[in-house]
Amino acid sequence: MQNDTAFIRELAGLAPIIPVLVVEDVAHAVPLAEALVRGGLPVLEVTLRTDAALDVIAAMATVEGARVGAGTLVTAQDVKASMEAGSTFGVTPGSPAALIDTCLEAGLPLLPGAATATEAMTLQARGFEVLKFFPAEAAGGIKTLKGLGGPLAGISFCPTGGVSAQNAADYLALPNVVCAGGSWIAPLDLVNAENWTEIEARARAAAALPRG
């Protein structure tokens, strides 16, 4: 099975920011997804970090305009379960070969994680052109992305991990950054407080960020 770069490029092009979501209560799934879509962020990464995550994916997948994927894919079981729940793409924090094999065999469009030149080159050799740069700030942030951009100009990144309202525009200005991911749009405290108004406002501000 070939990886689906065109699909991932399309998703990455839909909005400058992919909200990374940690949702504990499935009752929050639909209003949260609706607030994010209304705010202009249709591509949603639901982390498999809560017991509710698979049910959250299934519920969000019913929201018109939402493009729902699963994050924190670490095991083959995560890949299978997230696809059964209705996720249409996957995101991995890192890219061990066996996990990448599983995603390719399953036909799951993937934003695979990489933090070094070797990891990025290994993924590029398998046909991946859009990678999650994770954990972005801890792995050197903008300086590292600028450094990778010289020799690895064919690779685009979605930096995630430490990206914030304060630094997102600087990341997005880089030529090898297509979009960025982050939890600041819908942090757990706002979700648990059901503050959809504030989440929509944060989404709207993020959706308006210019890309370089």
Min dist. Cβ of residue 121 to ligand ELE (A): 22
For the chain, how far is it from start to end, CA to CA, in angstroms?
Answer: 32
x/- binding map, residues 125-164, to ligand ELE, per CB under 6 A?
---------x-------------------------xxxx-
x/- binding map, residues 62-101, to ligand ELE, per CB under 6 A?
---------xx------------------x-x--------
Q: Of the candidates 21, 43, 47, 176, which one interacts with ligand ELE according to CB under 6 A?
A: 47
Tell me the β-bridge partners of 68.
Answer: 44
Report the relative pairing of strands 180-182 and 67-71 from DSSP bridges: unpaired
Min dist. Cβ of residue 48 to ligand ELE (A): 7
* Region 174-203 residues binding ligand ELE, contact defined as CB under 6 A: 181-183
Nearer to ligand ELE, 64 or 96 (CB): 96
Residue 27, sorted as left (phi over 0), alpha (psi -120 to 50) or beta, turns out to be alpha
Helix, strand, coil shares of the chain, percent, nearest 5, are: 45, 15, 40
Residue 137 CB neighbour total at 10 angstroms: 17
Give the HSE-up count for residue 140: Cα atoms under 13 Å, Cβ half-sphere: 11
Question: Is 80 one of the annotated active-site residues of the chain?
Answer: no
Min dist. Cβ of residue 102 to ligand ELE (A): 16
Inter-residue contact 203 to 16 (CB < 8 Å): no
- Residues of this chain that bind ligand ELE (CB under 6 A): 20, 47, 49, 71-72, 91, 93, 134, 160-163, 181-183
Catalytic sites, residue numbers:
45, 132
